[in-house]
Amino acid sequence: MSVATLQQVFGANATQDATTVTIHKADFASVGFTPATANTADSILAAIVAFAETNIPDSAVTGGDTTRTVGIADGYQTITTVGTSQLLVLPKTINFYSPFNGTFDPDNY
């Protein structure tokens, strides 16, 4: 099974070495992210997931591309109430595909 490239998941300017992964927030502009000096961790995570989904959709795997090991899919949007606020819930599911052995090991992907 093949894996997505670092750039497909984290943007064109993503790099890594033995101890760090470096991403450029500007690479996520295509999914509506606005880089700032103090973006929230939640907004950065949302940008990464939205960007990665455009390049590694789960539909590629379920559509027959057996070379993929990870796919991201939209769930069904719902509305929930927390306290007195109504919130839109936008689920994203990250699926990991590997030969069945019953355990999750990040090194398999």
Per-residue pLDDT band at 39 (split at 50, 70, 90): very high
pLDDT at 25 over 70: yes
Per-residue pLDDT band at 19 (split at 50, 70, 90): very high
Whether residue 35 lies inside any domain: the answer is yes
Whether residue 91 lies inside any domain: the answer is no
Does the model's pTM come out above 0.95? no
Whether residue 84 lies inside any domain: the answer is no
Range of the domain at 57: 6-69
Q: Length of the chain, please?
A: 109
List the structure tokens of 8: 């497909």
- Count: domains in the chain: 1
d(CA 13, CA 69): 22
